[in-house]
Structure 1
Amino acid sequence: MTLQINLHQPPFSFLSEDQLAWLTQRLDLVFFPAGAVILRKGQSAPGVYIIYKGVVEETDETGEHVFTQYGKEDIFDVRAVLESGCKHQYRALEETLCYLLKAKDFIELLNESRDLSIFFNTDLGTQQSMVEQQDQSVSEFILSRVDDDVIRPAVYVSPQTNLSRVASLMFEKKHDALLVRDGERVGIVTGTDLLKSTLLGDKTKQTRVEDIAQFNLIHVNYGDFLFNALLKMTQHKIERVVVKRDGEIVGLLELMDMLSTFSTHSHIIAMRIEQAKSLKDLVSASRRLENLVATMNNQGVKMIALQELITTLNRRLIHRAFELIFPERLRRAVCILVLGSEGRGEQILKTDQDNAIILENEHDREAVLPLLQQLHQALLDFGYPPCPGGVMFINDSWIDTIDGWKARVRRWLDSGKPEAMMNMAIFMDAEPVCGSPHLFHPIKASWQLESLRASIVSARFAKPALQFETPLTILGNIREDHGKLDIKKGGIFPLVHGVRALAFEQAIDDCNTLERIDRLQEKGLVDAETAQGLKDALIFFWRIRLRQQLERGGDNPGLSQQLDVKLLRSVDRNMLRHALHRVKKFKQTLVSHFRLENF
């Protein structure tokens, strides 16, 4: 039989070619006239249906309450087969053709295919992970782990060993780094340390190695993914990490050893940023970031790891530009903050600038203003367009001293007006990236005072999470606007801001939304199932938005929030529908928690 549906997509793409061939031979084409009841509540399902043509509606047994509708290539009712009975009624709204896989054949297929069985018996997060892995060409690097093939054995010296002996050992062992054991402490000394201390510093061949060793070691665990090791090296600006197993050091992992075996561009971009001598050099490095995102997305890098890496590179890009523009005295006298998604560490493709600045002394304002204009222009050159709402450090509204910012925060919270609440929300996501971070600490502490977080203030702060309707119809289907859906308004913003509002109420320090959810779970504000569901939904929104942004391309693809629903596969539409229902339920929780029905 020639099939009129595509089985080479999830979930059936989890099957082998032999299993697909077996499945194809067991599918029967069945017809239902308009209005026909396909399955009744309590009925034992004859099998699983895959729609070829038409629309099927899922309702209660009276047909009055509609749960959802199914269209081409959608699957129903798996649950009835697995649980031995239909919980709802299914009716054809128009003439409908379906492929039927009989229940016994479906169960046999689940027994034969572990992946298919997991997919139909798991949650949204696991389904999403399985689909992503199936979709993407996962590179050898992404799947490889830290093991004996990539680590070097540790060579130790005592703290009293002189530098001459250390250099000899490095030459003999062909190691560029040795570990220094000082009782319970373990440090590291590298070939670069030797050169700097002797040729550029005042150390001699007889100097003890403990005088130049570094004892703040960064480590990864044996068996961890190589990508995580690379991420740590990038974040800490280092070229090697210690490897531990069961808490004990078993060796060293060198960047050059990884790069000689595997190919990746992230560390190269990081090095270009650090070595940049001009803003022009930084512009060149910044232009590589979008290609890096596309490459790593295609290679199957997890969304959270991708966000962490790009956030690290973006912040180093801004920091290096700051160093090139600001003289040393003024670097210590200010603190540059990134706000919004960049502050939360949730930005991947570049979006509009959201930033602010803290001045240690008001009298530095005149000296700082022209430098901020230069930094603003640098950000434009890097590909960050100006913020339409003017949330940028070149505007007076986002420049102030510590006392000025504390007063501004109080005015926002006392006002209660929507614009003031959104300004507070933007500022609550602030993260220092340049200058003196200690300038920010008293400001952040100011809005965590209990007197400023009264219940009515928290409720007003939370209310914007409800300003956009969840794009679901009364039938529970995805609601489109000419085939498009604004995923930020419909899914991301209400989830991010709702979590932010709960974090504000609880004086939670974390900025990242996923970390805020973890803290809320620890405090008992959400249970484990709800917390995981919210994280799964948000990660799905980020992933599906990024996929379409990269496919769309053009200038500033990161600014696009529109999903083209027509381009989504059945499995993606189904996961999107489930994720949006999570958002809808979360908004109902916010209404109840903050008593927003009174506002």
Structure 2
Amino acid sequence: MSFMVEKAGFSALPLSLVPAVIMDTETTGLNTASDRIVEIAAVRITDGRAERDTAFQVLVNPGIAIPASSTAIHTITDADVANADGIANVIPMFSQWTGNAIVIGYSIGFDLAVLKAEHHRYGLRWSAPRSLDVRHLVELVAQDLPEQSLDTAAAWLGVPLAGRHRALGDATVALHVFQALLPKLKQRGIITLAQAERACLERTSRRHSEAQAGWHDVVDSGRTAPVNITDYARIDSFPYRHRTGDIMHSPPLSVSGTTKMSAALTLALREQISSVFVKPGAGSDEPGILTERDILRAIGANGTTALAMPVSRFAAFPLVTVAADEFVYRAISIMARRGFRHLGVTGADGKLVGALSARDLLKQRADTAVALGNDIDTAGSTEELGKVWARLTTVVRALVSEDVDPRDIAAVISRELRSLTQRACLLGEAAMELRGKGPPPQPYAMFVLGSGGRGESLLAMDQDNAIVFGKGDPGGEADRWFADLGTIVADTLNDAGVSHCKGGIMASNSEWRMDASHWRDVLSQWLSKSRPEDILNADIFFDAKTVHGDSTLLDTLRMDALRAAQNAHGFLNAMQMRAGEFTSPVGWFGKWKLEDGRVDLKRAGLMPLFSAARVLALRHGVSEPSTPSRFEAARAAGVEAAHVIDDLIEAHKILLSAILRQQLRDIEAGLKLGNSIDPAQMSGHDIQQVRWAIDQVPKIRDLLGIPAYG
């Protein structure tokens, strides 16, 4: 039998969402080598919910007499197990029931050691499961408990005791203790499975004493070692590298609603297309679509007379569209979720620019793409949103293994961060309705700032979001409504895996939640006073992108601010000087200047690069959001020293890749994610590339026209 290997991606899952079974055994004694199992039970956890109705509970005939001292504890007698299956028959059943779930239990090292001995006793193959000991987790947060028994832990956490000293009862109590521990572990920065494993691994004295007692070593140290990214399964990267505009049919073919069906059919046959769009009119302000299936259904219902009827009678309104700059995997997700075979494609101005059909996507293996998009768009709770983090990490790891451009990967991460924020808004609005506070009192836009808006987020993301609403004074009725919404959104994102912003840049804070009029006043202040904090706030605002609501509220603010910034010379000079304030992490003789064994590539490289690109965009009135596109736009505008732009764009790519790969290694190792790299974990070629990228960063001073620092 033995246990199945867990699926890739479990390391990054929050503990609350880890697919697990909480297991316990009752035995003939405490000797792991010679004693036998007399009962085995387990409760499954799926998406954070215990499935008690489908619990596994089986008595086992140990093949030897059960000592009276053991019966006195668990009450199981020889007569109870006389007709029960032996462990050799029970093991395959339990293995199939467990699947590839993580095995959790209280002092689970004992249970696994006995189970391993039973395997060997009957010549069965043994493969240890990925596991966690709840007792170890208790010790991480409550080292001062008088003892570490299950009873003591349950009493400390307020977990009722029921059915103790029988396998199912003990497994159920361990389950409740585990779930009660999760908030306390989170307060200590232990959120994911890999982080819990690393924390437990560091408790060497406990592991040593258990090993001496013959217990199984619950946490495999090999799991927290740096991993080779290419060890993971590959996926079809096409949907993550291309936008719908790359594969759409353009220009779109449209007919009026009064066009006869025969004319629409003739057009479709001549152009070899499977649908035509129908212009607004005939009772609809939105365009519609007439597909080949609509034509067949019309003829089937009406005979050939249908061909003389207007297309508006059979077309579907409104047409569902996707933006031309949207990733293909998102279009796949929409089609799969809504059962469509055709989508309209719109440009930046919202006008139709093309058509996309299922045939265009036929060759794309879309399972992962569909799952990634659907997880967010259909999530009905914080718990379901939390699953996105692990799925996104799995997709990112696979894309890295295929050497997909890290800028495309960052754009995918940013896309899902924005979708996550949008879904949190929708859940928040529903929660406000349930609380009796009604719908939004004013039109509003929720927007993300910084890297999420630029499309350059990596896996160490936190929240940077804000709200602009129509009208309302600070502290007024509308502002209070949006304050509550902002708090719900912030907490939802935090619980889903996107941490609260340490700098407080969240719509739950009044500084980042205002009506349009007050936003204009604040932006004017930022541009005129140019204090350090103003520069920082304005920096990320100019990267803003709407994720939910009325986008015109933000678009109008942002365009007005862009125009004002072009003439705010003091502000631009201050931003320019700030962009040039950086220090190389490479010291004398080419040695790294390490901090805790790492090099902060964001501070030493990425930040100067995206800050310089932002200055150039503001100086030349460029609305492009990403760092490479801003550099390219500056080149087109005729900036001096334009010859360095190619090197800066390539440096930006290399630094993104290095940080992303390090983050993937750190996820598996259970380390807190950041923007620093460990050179000791990198190949010689990768180190050489990063050094070259760092050497290019000072060129931004030439590009911005600021003096070099000695």
> Is the TM-score greater than 0.5?
yes
How much does 1:539 deviate? 0.9
Q: How does 1:181-580 map to 2 (within 5 A)?
A: 188-190=289-291, 208-210=310-312, 212=315, 229-230=328-329, 233=332, 240=342, 252-254=357-359, 257-258=362-363, 262=365, 264-326=367-429, 329-330=439-440, 333-362=443-472, 363-450=477-564, 453-475=567-589, 478-481=592-595, 483-525=597-639, 529-553=643-667, 559-580=673-694
Q: CA deviation at 1:358?
A: 0.7
Q: Deviations over 1:505-530 (max 9, x none)?
A: 22221221111111111101156642
Separation in 2 of the partners of 1:490 and 1:240? 46
Q: Residues 465-502 of structure 1, C-alpha deviation per residue, up to 9 Å, x if partnerless?
A: 23331212254554434542111111111111111122
Structure 1 pair 487–268 and aligned structure 2 pair: CA distance change class (3 A)? same
How far apart in 2 are the matches of 1:374 and 1:341? 22
> Which amino acid is 2:701 matched to?
K
Cα deviations across residues 368-413 of structure 1 (Å, max 9, x unaligned)?
2222211111111221111111111111111111111111112122
8 A Cα contact 1:517 1:531, kept in partner: yes
CA shift for structure 1 position 164:
11
Q: Partners of 1:437 and 1:251 in 2: how far apart?
A: 25
Contact 1:565 1:573 in 2 (8 A): yes
Change in 2 beyond 3 A, CA 1:270/1:526: farther
Identity of aligned residues (%): 23
User: Larger Rg: 1 or 2?
Assistant: 2
Change (3 A) 1:356 1:230: closer
Q: Distance in 1 between matches of 2:675 and 2:644?
A: 25
- Note closer, same or farther for the CA distance 1:235–1:534 as it changes in structure 2 (3 Å cut): farther
Distance 1:477 1:457 in 2: 36
Measured in 1, the distance between the counterparts of 2:632 and 2:456 equals 16
Q: Which runs of 5+ in 2 are unaligned?
A: 1-227, 280-286, 299-304, 346-352
Q: What letter matches 1:336 in structure 2?
A: M
Distance 1:357 1:494, change over 3 A: same
Q: Secondary structure of the equivalent of 1:553?
A: helix
| Unmatched segments (≥5 aa) in structure 1 | 1-131, 198-203, 221-226
Secondary structure of the 1:254 match is helix
> Structure 1 residues 157 and 483 mapped into 2: Cα distance closer, same or farther (>3 Å)?
closer
What SS is found at the alignment partner of 2:606? helix
Given that 2:264 and 2:276 are in contact with CA atoms closer than 8 Å, whether structure 1 keeps it comes out as no
1:178 aligns with 2:275: yes
Query: In 2, are the aligned partners of 1:350 and 1:383 still within 8 Å (CA)?
Result: no
Question: 1:578-589 alignment to 2 at 5 Å?
Answer: 578-589=692-703
- 1:266-293 Cα offsets, whole Å, 9 max, x none, are 2222133333344443333444212221
When normalised by structure 1's length, the TM-score is: 0.61
Flag the 1:249–1:297 CA change in 2: closer, same or farther, 3 A.
same
Q: Is the 8 A contact 1:485 1:563 kept in 2?
A: yes
Shift of 1:163: 7.5
What's the TM-score, normalizing by structure 2? Answer: 0.53
**Structure 1 contact 136–299 (Cα < 8 Å) conserved:** no
Moved more, 556-565 or 460-469: 556-565
Secondary structure of the corresponding residue to residue 481 of structure 2:
helix
Distance 1:253 1:563 in 2: 42
SS of the residue corresponding to residue 445 of structure 2 reads: strand
Letter in 2 for 1:401: D
* Alpha-carbon separation, structure 1, partners of 2:393 and 2:359: 27
Across the aligned residues of Structure 1 and Structure 2, the Cα RMSD in angstroms comes to: 4.9
Whole-angstrom distance in 1 between the partners of 2:386 and 2:479: 27
